Structure 1
Amino acid sequence: MFDWVGLLLKAAYYYGQIIGLCNFKIDWQRGRVVAAQRSIIFAIAINVLICMVVLLQISKKFNLDSYFSKVNQLHQYVIIVMVSLRMASGVSTILNRWHQRAQLMRMAECVFRLFLKKPQVKQMSRWAILVKLSVAVVSDFLQMAISIDSVGRLGSKQFVGMALEFWMSAIINMALSQYYLIILFVRAYYHLLKTELRQVIHESQMLSETYPRRGAFMTKCCFLADRIDNIAKLQNELQSIVAQLNQMFDLQGMMVYVGYYIFFISTNYITYSLAKNGIEQLHLTVRAVALGFSWCFFYYMDAILNLFVILNLLDDHKELERILEDRTLFTSALDVRLEQSFESIQLQLIRNPFKFEVLDIFTITRSSSAAMMGSIITHSIFLIQYDMEYF
């Protein structure tokens, strides 16, 4: 059977190497991560080129009148903040990949080892992988189309800036895609853990309802205790992967969340400006506006996918805790070792709660996400009211 999921994952890996995000080599046959000299040299060359172009753009005077005609001062502030934050996010992502390179390699090896242990997780996540990578590819192509469309309206100097912005967007999107795929892999493993735990609890309940014959009863209890211990060990390993991932992406995560926040507010304001001033006054074409709004749609969709894979994993963890509560339905006491295994995994989940934190500033939950959306709407209204009053 044709393994199109594996082909997609390999294509994403090689794309990350081309844009300068991946600075190590993955041996797909053996499932190993190696520090190949060719990959290191290529990544250094691409990253140095990016930094040189960024420094060149910073040294030049940024004239927004080349992009929009009759642009007011508030437009300038909004656009400068958006572009600067995207550039800073891209550069910080590149620098962090070199700073955290050894940790990333160890984590990638751990993920591959678990992946080879349960290869069915790839098929379990195949449609989510397809949707995520498709949205990322369409977003990058639309960003490229926006840069190409700007050739007719901008000069060569401005086009270099647009191309650099596309490059940074591609780096950020690929980094977010890698984060998403690892969380998706952990979530698929959680589904296997929940299925295994339900089976163990069901067998334990059936065992508690039978007359305890000493030899067979104790053997069965020890077998179930071993399965519980394996579940606890695997759950701890998965949670450790997520904790390391969040630690390595802490600064990037903060910049990405701030970027989402600022971009959503800016998009609402720019939409209002288009409705107020018209396309012609802002020196835009219908095609440019259509490309821009299409890119915004896929950008929002990508943000929603990134958010919900985290929220769904948190829900899976809570469901794992709820499944363990069914052990209170046992009609009689089981073997001491099996009871201790159940208590051990429950204490493990209680003492080490599963949470996603952004730079230890705020925690990602459904309530905090809803509060963030409310704040975006409020600040969008404030920005539009400021424009109505002073411009």
Structure 2
Amino acid sequence: MFDWAGLLLKAVYYYGHLIGLSNFEFDWRTGRVFTAKRSTFYAIAINAIIFMLLILQSTKKLDLNMIIGRSNKLVQYVLIIVLGMRIAAGFSAILVRWRQRTQMMRLTKMVIRIFLQKPQVIRMSRWDILIKFILACTTDFLQMAITWNAMGHSEANQILPMVVQFWMSAVINLATSQHYLVILFVRAYYHLLNRELRQVIEECKELSNHPQRKGAFMTRCCSLSDRLEIIAKLQTQLQSTVTQLHEVFALQGLMVFGGYYILSIATAYLTYSILKNGYENLEMTLVMMILSFTWSFFFYLDAILNLFMTLNLIDDHKEMIRLLDQRTIFASRLDVRLEETFDSMQLQMIRDPFKIKIFKTFTITRSSTSVMFGSLITNSIFLIQYDLENF
């Protein structure tokens, strides 16, 4: 059977090298992670070009009129902040890949080693991989179209800033896609572990309701204890992988999260400005407006997909805790070793709670996400009120 999901992952892998985000290589089949002169020198060359372009851009003044036409100072300030955050997020992603190269290689090796044990994880995730691939490609192509359209209405000295903006957007998009894929694979693995744990719980219930002869009873209890120990070991590895993932992506996560937050407020305000003044009065072209709103739709759809993948992973972990709590309904006491294995796994999960934090400050939960959306709405209203009062 044709492995199109693996082909998409290979495309993501080579695209990362192409734009200069990846600076080491790995082999999915063997789990080998290594540095190579070819990929290292190429990444250095591409990153040096990006750095030089950023320096050249800093010497030029960006003409915001080519993006949104004639606008008031508040709109221009909002655009400057958004574009600055995008460049800072992309540049920080590249710096992190060099500064924490060893940690990134260790994380990649950990991920590959874990999932080589369960190759069906990729097969289980193939449709999520396809959806993510389509959204990421659509976002990049729309960004390219916006850049091309803006370049067609700009002077030659404004082309460089637009190219840098597109490049940084591509880097951010791929970096968040790589983070998404790791979370996706961990979540698929959690599904397998929860399925196995559910089977162990059901067999324990049956064993506690119908005690067998002592020899057979002890044999089944030992077998269940072994299976439970394997589940506990794999769960620890998965949790360690997620923890290390967010430690490595800490700065990048903060920049991307801050970019999402500011861009969301800016999008609400810019939408209000267009509705208030009309795109003709802002000297925007109809094509630019359509491309911008289409890009925003797919960009936020992709962002929501990333967010809910993380939230669903947290829910899968809670489901495992809930399954372990079912041991209290066993009809009679099982073997001592099996009971101790249950106790050990529960204590392990209580002692080391599963939390996903951004830069060790903002904990991602459904309640904190609701608070964030409320804050977005509030700040968007404040910005619109300021515009009504002063412009």
TM over 0.5: yes
Residue matched to 1:307: 307
CA–CA separation in structure 2 for the residues paired with 1:203 and 1:281: 71
Amino acid at match of 1:176: T
Residue matched to 1:89: 89
**Is the aligned partner of 1:70 residue 2:70?**
yes
Question: Is this contact kept in 2: 1:183–1:309, CA < 8 A?
Answer: yes
Residue matched to 2:293: 293
Give deviations 1:222-279, integer Å, cap 9, x for gaps: 1111111110000000000000001111111111111111101101111111112221
**Is the aligned partner of 1:101 residue 2:101?**
yes
**Structure 1 alignment gaps of length 5 or more:** none
State the Cα distance separating 1:142 from its structure 2 match.
0.2
Residue matched to 2:342: 342
State the Cα distance separating 1:67 from its structure 2 match.
4.1
**Structure 2 alignment gaps of length 5 or more:** none
Give deviations 1:309-364, integer Å, cap 9, x for gaps: 01000000001000111111111111100000001111111111111111122211
Question: Is this contact kept in 2: 1:208–1:330, CA < 8 A?
Answer: yes
State the Cα distance separating 1:107 from its structure 2 match.
1.2
CA–CA separation in structure 1 for the residues paired with 2:124 and 2:319: 18
Amino acid at match of 1:352: D
CA–CA separation in structure 2 for the residues paired with 1:9 and 1:356: 25
Residue matched to 2:280: 280
CA–CA separation in structure 2 for the residues paired with 1:313 and 1:254: 20
**Is the aligned partner of 1:8 residue 2:8?**
yes
Question: Is this contact kept in 2: 1:71–1:282, CA < 8 A?
Answer: yes
Residue matched to 1:328: 328
State the Cα distance separating 1:220 from its structure 2 match.
1.3
Question: Is this contact kept in 1: 2:74–2:387, CA < 8 A?
Answer: yes
CA–CA separation in structure 2 for the residues paired with 1:59 and 1:152: 22
CA–CA separation in structure 2 for the residues paired with 1:330 and 1:385: 61
TM-score (norm 2): 0.98
CA–CA separation in structure 2 for the residues paired with 1:29 and 1:207: 40
State the Cα distance separating 1:12 from its structure 2 match.
0.5
CA–CA separation in structure 1 for the residues paired with 2:275 and 2:164: 29
TM-score (norm 1): 0.98
The DSSP-based 3-state class of the residue aligned with 1:151 is helix
CA–CA separation in structure 2 for the residues paired with 1:116 and 1:29: 8
CA–CA separation in structure 2 for the residues paired with 1:165 and 1:279: 23
Question: Is this contact kept in 1: 2:28–2:112, CA < 8 A?
Answer: no
Amino acid at match of 2:171: I
Identity of aligned pairs, percent?
58
Tell me whether 163-172 or 54-63 shows the greater mean CA deviation. 54-63
CA–CA separation in structure 1 for the residues paired with 2:163 and 2:47: 15
Residue matched to 2:156: 156
State the Cα distance separating 1:115 from its structure 2 match.
1.7
RMSD over aligned CA atoms reads 1.1
Residue matched to 2:57: 57
CA–CA separation in structure 2 for the residues paired with 1:220 and 1:347: 23
Give deviations 1:265-321, integer Å, cap 9, x for gaps: 101111111112221222211111000000000110011011000100000000100
Amino acid at match of 1:325: D
The DSSP-based 3-state class of the residue aligned with 2:151 is coil
Question: Is this contact kept in 2: 1:146–1:291, CA < 8 A?
Answer: yes
The DSSP-based 3-state class of the residue aligned with 2:280 is coil
Question: Is this contact kept in 1: 2:253–2:358, CA < 8 A?
Answer: yes
State the Cα distance separating 1:68 from its structure 2 match.
4.3
Question: Is this contact kept in 2: 1:67–1:154, CA < 8 A?
Answer: no
Amino acid at match of 2:95: L
CA–CA separation in structure 1 for the residues paired with 2:67 and 2:293: 17
